[in-house]
Amino acid sequence: MNYLGKIRARSAQASSHYASYSSGKSRAPKRVLVTGGAGFLGSHLCETLLAAGHQVICLDNFSTGMRRNIAHLKGVDRFNAVAHDIVQPLDLEVDEIYNLACPASPPHYQADPVHTTKTCVLGSLNLLELAARTGARILQASTSEVYGDPNVHPQVESYWGNVNSFGPRSCYDEGKRCAETLFFDFHNTHGVEIKIIRIFNTYGPRMRPDDGRVVSNFIVQALTGQDITIYGDGSQTRSFCFVDDLIGGMVRMMASPSSLTGPVNLGNPGEFTIRELAEQVIGLTGSRSQIIHRPLPVDDPRQRRPDISLAMQELDWRPKIDLSSGLRQTIDYFDGLLTRPARELEAV
Ligand SMILES: NC(=O)c1ccc[n+]([C@@H]2O[C@H](COP(=O)([O-])OP(=O)(O)OC[C@H]3O[C@@H](n4cnc5c(N)ncnc54)[C@H](O)[C@@H]3O)[C@@H](O)[C@H]2O)c1
The pLDDT tens digits for 220-258 are 999 999 999 999 999 999 999 999 999 999 999 999 999
What is the 8-class DSSP label of residue 297?
A: P
What is the 101 CA–ligand 1 centroid distance (Å)? Answer: 5
What is the 60 CA–ligand 1 centroid distance (Å)? Answer: 9
Query: Which helix (H) or strand (E) is 174 found in, with range?
Result: helix 170-190
Average pLDDT value over all residues in the chain = 92
What is the 158 CA–ligand 1 centroid distance (Å)? Answer: 24
Distance, CA of 320 to CA of 332 (rounded, Å): 19
Residue pair 269/276 in contact (Cβ under 8 Å)? The answer is no
Q: 172, 203, 231, 333: which one is catalytic? A: 172
Q: Pick 299 or 210 by higher pLDDT.
A: 210
Distance, CA of 234 to CA of 253 (rounded, Å): 34
Q: Which residues lie closer than 8 Å to 88 by C-beta, 6 or more apart? A: 126
pLDDT digits (tens, 9 = 90+) for 269-322: 999 999 999 999 999 999 999 999 999 988 788 888 999 999 999 999 999 999
Ligand 1 pocket, Cβ-based, cut-off 6 angstroms? 35-36, 38-42, 60-65, 85-87, 100-104, 119, 123, 141, 143, 199, 201-202
* CATH fold group of domain 3-203+242-268+305-320: Rossmann fold (3.40.50)
Residue pair 131/192 in contact (Cβ under 8 Å)? The answer is yes
Residue 345 pLDDT > 80, yes or no?
no
How many distinct helices (H) and strands (E) make up the chain? 12, 13
Give the number of other Cβ atoms within 10 Å of residue 309's Cβ: 13
Distance, CA of 286 to CA of 272 (rounded, Å): 20
pLDDT score for 172: 98
pLDDT digits (tens, 9 = 90+) for 159-202: 999 999 999 999 999 999 999 999 999 999 999 999 999 999 99
Residue pair 171/285 in contact (Cβ under 8 Å)? The answer is no
Which of 33, 34, 35, 40 is the pocket-test mutation for ligand 1 (most atoms within 8 Å of CB)?
40
Q: Which atom of ligand 1 is nearest to the CA of 243?
A: 1
> What phi and psi, each to the nearest 5 degrees, are found at residue 288?
-95, 10
Is 172 catalytic? The answer is yes
